[in-house]
Amino acid sequence: MAKDPVHVLVTGAAGQIGYALVPMIARGVMLGADQPVILHMLDIPLAAEALNGVKMELISNNQNILLRPGVVATTDVVEACLGVNIAVMVGGFPRKEGMERKDVMSKNVSIYKSQASALESHAAANCKVLVVANPANTNALILKEFAPSIPEKNISCLTRLDHNRALGQVSERLSVQVSDVKNVIIWGNHSSTQYPDVTHATVKTSVGKKAVKELVADDAWLNGEFISTVQQRGAAIIKARKFSSALSAASSACDHIRDWVVGTPEGTWVSMGVYSDGSYDVPAGLIYSFPVTCKNGEWSIVQGLSIDEFSRSKLDKTAEELSEEKALAYSCLV
Ligand code: NAD
Ligand code: LMR
């Protein structure tokens, strides 16, 4: 029997990430090739013509078997949010070369406050929300605060891109398949204070699972260049492309939602920005990236991992930045 369609909202659908993301969703990369999807694409009136162009392209693409019965392309936030089961919030003002993420804060938090209300009033009851637009953790927090009836477990932000970047760095360094590297962690903010942590990461080898730390055997690299490369990757891409990452961001958004909905493989965790419950002494009340496993459509923070002194200071530093961002966001909304 055919599955009921899932309604997936993509805001900022006429933008760069949107343009990469909607065909991935349409081809089943996010929810599987047997899951019909109705795409709801939202953008602002200034981008209405471009949005319509994206819709035309989707309809012309004969690989879009998933798109029946439809694509909604609109600049009306209420129409866009109506009955959505999954909301991927990409719309916003992107960081340009030379801008700090905080510079885009005031432009974006007011968007997230008003879109929170639209989702709260019009989305399906158990809608899962992924915020991609920067500052992603703080936009997600504002969305959570202004949509109090959406369960806090349903609101998340994207740090899977950073997670995938960390896997990529280890795979390059060790010349192994990226799919054989598991259980890196991104702690904290999707920003340059994030802490990419390989303390518990492993690589599948012909003689079993080995610790990344043992195989790399170079603490100077792991505690230095590895961390800074992952932290600065977004800025490096902006410098190179003059635009922020789009293809990898779209692909990571699909990874995030797929694992959340379908579940993470046994023994594997991923990184998601989620509402802190105080685990690992991270202040409650922040959206903070943790290692999580997912089962039956719910994430759980992986508990009991050892945190050494080096890691502790990094976890605290990125939490401090998030607390500052939260205060700044509220000051922008006043
Ligand atoms: P973009 O400028 O190409 O696209 C953004 C789109 O959002 C535009 O089409 C714009 O018209 C639309 N938009 C603006 N305000 C809107 C609103 N109120 N409602 C709906 N749509 C609106 O930017 P992009 O490259 O697609 O990046 C989008 C966001 O994602 C940026 O904030 C960027 O910094 C962020 N980003 C996050 C990650 C991550 O890993 N979390 C990675 C890359 C980029
Ligand atoms: C990225 O990590 O690629 C982006 O978040 C960079 C940015 O600031 O847009």
Could you give the ipTM of this predicted complex? 0.99
Closest CA to 182 of 165, 202, 168: 202
Domain boundaries, given as residue ranges, for the chain: 6-157, 159-329
**Taking a C-beta distance cutoff of 8 angstroms, is the pair 137, 107 a contact?**
no
**Residue 47 zone, left/alpha/beta (φ > 0; ψ -120 to 50; rest):** alpha
Closest CA to 157 of 194, 202, 125: 194
Q: Which residues contact 28 (CB under 8 A, 6 or more apart)?
A: 34, 35, 37, 66
Strands 298-301 and 287-295 come out as: antiparallel
One fold for both 6-157 and 159-329? no
Q: Identify the nearest ligand to the CA of 160 by its number.
A: 1
Tokens of 142: 């504002």
User: For residues 260 and 262, what is the distance between their CA atoms, to the nearest angstrom?
Assistant: 6
Question: In this predicted structure, what is the pLDDT of residue 53?
Answer: 96
Q: Identify the nearest ligand to the CA of 90 by its number.
A: 1
Q: Is 235 annotated as a binding residue?
A: no
Pocket of ligand 2 (CB under 6 A): 94-95, 101, 134, 161, 234, 237, 244-245
Ligand 2 center to 235 CA (angstroms): 6
Question: In this predicted structure, what is the pLDDT of residue 252?
Answer: 98
User: For residues 271 and 267, what is the distance between their CA atoms, to the nearest angstrom?
Assistant: 14
Four-way CATH pick for 159-329: 3.40.50.300, 3.20.20.70, 3.40.50.720, 3.90.110.10: 3.90.110.10
What are the beta bridge partners of residue 187?
195
* pLDDT tens-digit series, residues 3-50: 889 999 999 999 999 999 999 999 999 999 889 999 999 999 999 999
Residue to mutate, 103, 107, 139, 245, ligand 2, most ligand atoms under 8 Å from C-beta: 245
Q: Which residues in the chain show pLDDT less than 50?
A: none
User: For residues 13 and 73, what is the distance between their CA atoms, to the nearest angstrom?
Assistant: 9
Ligand 1 center to 12 CA (angstroms): 6
Catalytic annotation, pick one of 7, 40, 163, 190: 190
Q: Is 233 annotated as a binding residue?
A: no
Question: In this predicted structure, what is the pLDDT of residue 256?
Answer: 98
**Taking a C-beta distance cutoff of 8 angstroms, is the pair 237, 133 a contact?**
no
Question: In this predicted structure, what is the pLDDT of residue 68?
Answer: 56
Ligand 1 center to 302 CA (angstroms): 30
Four-way CATH pick for 6-157: 3.40.50.720, 3.40.50.920, 3.40.190.10, 3.40.50.620: 3.40.50.720
Q: Is 190 a catalytic residue?
A: yes
pTM over 0.95: yes
Tokens of 83: 């009955």
Question: In this predicted structure, what is the pLDDT of residue 331?
Answer: 87
User: For residues 109 and 93, what is the distance between their CA atoms, to the nearest angstrom?
Assistant: 10
Q: Is 132 annotated as a binding residue?
A: yes
H or E segment and range at residue 233 = helix 225-241
Beginning with the edge strand found earlier in the chain, give each strand of the sheet holding 181-182 in spatial order: 181-182, 202-205, 208-211
Cβ of residue 40 lying under 6 Å from some atom of ligand 1: no
